[in-house]
Structure 1
Amino acid sequence: MSSTREKLISLLSNQSENFVSGQWLSSQLKISRTAVWKQIKQLEEDGYKFEAIQNKGYRLLVQPDKVSENTLYWGLDTKWLGKSLEHYPVLDSTQRLAMEKAQKGAEEGLVVVADKQTTGKGRRQHRWYSNHSGGVWLSFVLHPKMVPAKAPQLTLLTAIAVVQAMESATELKPMIKWPNDILIGDKKIAGILTEMQAEHDEIHYVVIGIGLNVNQTSNDLDHQIKHMATSLLIETEKTYHKQVIIQAILTHFETIYHDYLLNGFEPIRKQWLHYAYRLGDLIHYTINGEENRGILHGIANDGSLIIEDEQQQKQNLYSAEIKWFEGVENNES
């Protein structure tokens, strides 16, 4: 989105209850009144409706209920995340495109959003069923100044941002299943994928992907996952404006990420524990073919899962097959 369009949207948003003259907009944007008129017409093509009165100017009447670069920017209360934004009706994978753009030098804060993904993916190359316009599918680029070993912390703080965005929009009480899933009850509603390019002790870039089921009905969910997945609509019997959900996710992430950069991981770790799925429960897990069980004690500063085994010895799990749900096949974590 051009900087002129961003400024125009910001000006109109801040004055949405009043008429704004074309001359004033022209002066603020440093473009001609004809150019202002052309920008307004482009917004109208995107579904915005304005009242225009000679000698008074323009007043916003209707903001469209659709996801676009314009509607996402309108009302987005972030300083840098999403200020560069690309929206696509259909994309193979927001993660693939964001990784490609990051490799080519994309700035920090670039957000790629798609209404549908034809080949969405999750952690460990698992398929993510996202070829449906009812969900939120997005990826964004970061350039964190940290060592690669700390990258798993970004997944954990992203999970907090998604959960808090859901709480701000609903009365649901989501939980975080280590390391990257968001659950309602025992059903998955969102997932996070963190990928990076790094060498030695330097991260070149990180791309974080988020998939959240929003307005899907149970019939919309793929038959392979509908017994273990859910959506905001299924849980609340309400539909949601996806652009509002996206804005909430980006706003919460930017706030939490800023706190993380200032104060380190410990405040994030404490917040994560507040939402931790099955914290304090006995869980069964398998490492290298050996079955074990222990109490889920928490997470360490490196993002690993802390388990207290039957000998009351604590160990850190970085990867394991964990049986999270009774009567359900083991899920890799």
Structure 2
Amino acid sequence: MSTKQDVLRLLYSTVDKPLSGQDIAEQLNLSRTAVWKAIQQLKKDGYEITSSTKVGYQLSRQTDLLTLEGIRSHLGEALQDWDIQVFETTTSTNDLAKTYGASGSRVPTFFIAEEQTAGRGRLGRTFLSPPKSGLYMSICIFPEGDLDSISLITCATAVAATRAVESFIHEKIGIKWVNDLYYHDKKIAGILTEAVTNIEAQKVDALIVGMGINLHIDDAIIPEDLKPIIGSLFSPQEIPDGFSRNEFVARFLKEWNHCYEDINAGKRDFMEEYKDHSIIVGKKVNVISGMKTYPATAKSVDNNGHLIVQTDDGAIHSLSYGEVSIRPEN
């Protein structure tokens, strides 16, 4: 870790009070000159740091640059065994995670970017990922459980995301089976779960869980045909004071890890939250499965994350994959 990163980490850890240059120098075993140079570099990078000869340096809470140090400062002691990689731009965080998952390493790793140039959702669809408007992230883990447990990961991710979002806005987020989050009747997030498989061993070597969330996307850059569908958590003009992307990411990661630990322990408690947030249960839907589309009514979501639907002839079907769209009410 560089001197600049060390100083930034220390400023994040004491954001509520200033630190003198001497304190920083002593804690990091640096010269006062090295501390001053690091502070100047951080200011040049865009960090708001107040300086006073009497009280020292203090990082402003309004600084919302997405950084490893910022995320770690909000994680505390959680996920110390994880690697966290932060990018300003990348093609796709899921692509980064899949490459890493096939590399032979076994360290759980989190990838996050401010922008994706080739973001994608389910079925190869493009996922709009403009810079400074959202968070685009992927988790790479190495599961030991069976495929039935793995199928719950998408549901767990949706629950973790709703918990993180609701902790900031105090309004209820909707989940559309299986992988979309809705706010004020518009999609604000999508989840894409993929795997790195070993065909010879017939097992999953790595599991990739990607999520993109629109925090404050400008309506002007949304294509006209998507404007009735795509939304964001805030408008660019109404971002709450004190909202921190680093803190949001840390909350999401901690909640995600709690859900993942529950899965590994055979617990399904989070599925009750998933069901409670469902916007599709009780609705008339069109089910898209492979090349086939048919009408049905969404009856429930079971504890394995399967959608239970009833077709017009009364038959009950359990869907572990596929896609559904809500039919307009007459």
Q: TM-score range by the shorter chain?
A: 0.7 to 0.9
- How far off is 1:89 after superposition? 2.5
- How far off is 1:85 after superposition? 2.7
Moved more, 290-299 or 177-186: 290-299
Alignment of 1:172-321 (within 5 A): 172-199=171-198, 200=201, 202-234=203-235, 238-239=238-239, 241=243, 242-262=245-265, 264-285=266-287, 287=289, 289=292, 291-301=294-304, 303-309=305-311, 313-321=315-323
The AA in structure 2 aligned to 1:285 is V
- Indicate conservation of the 8 Å contact 2:286/2:293, yes or no: no
| Alignment-derived partner of residue 328 in structure 2 | 326
Moved more, 169-178 or 116-125: 169-178
- Indicate conservation of the 8 Å contact 1:189/1:231, yes or no: yes
Mapped to 2, the partners of 1:174 and 1:325 lie a distance apart of: 20
- Indicate conservation of the 8 Å contact 1:71/1:243, yes or no: yes
Alignment of 1:88-99 (within 5 A): 88-99=87-98
Alignment of 1:138-149 (within 5 A): 138-149=137-148
Could you state the TM-score of these two structures normalised by the residue count of structure 2?
Answer: 0.82
- How far off is 1:153 after superposition? 0.7
The AA in structure 2 aligned to 1:125 is G
Mapped to 2, the partners of 1:36 and 1:203 lie a distance apart of: 47
Mapped to 2, the partners of 1:322 and 1:83 lie a distance apart of: 35
Moved more, 157-166 or 313-322: 313-322
Mapped to 2, the partners of 1:78 and 1:192 lie a distance apart of: 27
CA gap 1:243/1:14 in 2 versus in 1, 3 angstroms:
closer
Q: Deviations over 1:196-251 (max 9, x none)?
A: 113356432212111111111322212231121111125x9722543343333223
The AA in structure 2 aligned to 1:269 is M
The AA in structure 2 aligned to 1:255 is H
Mapped to 1, the partners of 2:152 and 2:275 lie a distance apart of: 13
- Indicate conservation of the 8 Å contact 1:73/1:83, yes or no: no
The AA in structure 2 aligned to 1:51 is S
User: What's the secondary structure of 1:246's corresponding residue?
Assistant: helix
Structure 1: give runs of 5+ residues left out of the alignment: 328-333
User: What's the secondary structure of 2:88's corresponding residue?
Assistant: strand
User: What's the secondary structure of 2:12's corresponding residue?
Assistant: helix
Could you state the TM-score of these two structures normalised by the residue count of structure 1?
Answer: 0.81
User: What's the secondary structure of 1:233's corresponding residue?
Assistant: coil
What is the root-mean-square deviation in Å for CA atoms of aligned residues? 3.2
Q: Deviations over 1:42-101 (max 9, x none)?
A: 4333314142537x6544456523323344344344611796333322221111112212
Alignment of 1:30-49 (within 5 A): 36-46=35-45, 47-49=47-49
Mapped to 2, the partners of 1:320 and 1:304 lie a distance apart of: 10
Percent identity of paired positions between Structure 1 and Structure 2: 25
- Indicate conservation of the 8 Å contact 1:80/1:109, yes or no: no
CA gap 1:13/1:324 in 2 versus in 1, 3 angstroms:
same
- How far off is 1:272 after superposition? 1.0
CA gap 1:306/1:48 in 2 versus in 1, 3 angstroms:
same
Structure 2: give runs of 5+ residues left out of the alignment: none
Moved more, 185-194 or 6-15: 6-15
The AA in structure 2 aligned to 1:208 is V
CA gap 1:60/1:319 in 2 versus in 1, 3 angstroms:
closer
- Indicate conservation of the 8 Å contact 1:82/1:250, yes or no: no
Mapped to 2, the partners of 1:90 and 1:82 lie a distance apart of: 25
CA gap 1:70/1:300 in 2 versus in 1, 3 angstroms:
closer
- Indicate conservation of the 8 Å contact 1:130/1:137, yes or no: yes
Q: Is the counterpart of residue 163 in structure 1 residue 166 in structure 2?
A: no
**Across the two proteins, how many residue pairs are aligned to each other?**
322
Mapped to 1, the partners of 2:310 and 2:35 lie a distance apart of: 64
| Alignment-derived partner of residue 115 in structure 1 | 114
The AA in structure 1 aligned to 2:51 is E
The AA in structure 1 aligned to 2:157 is T
- Indicate conservation of the 8 Å contact 2:4/2:41, yes or no: no
The AA in structure 2 aligned to 1:88 is F
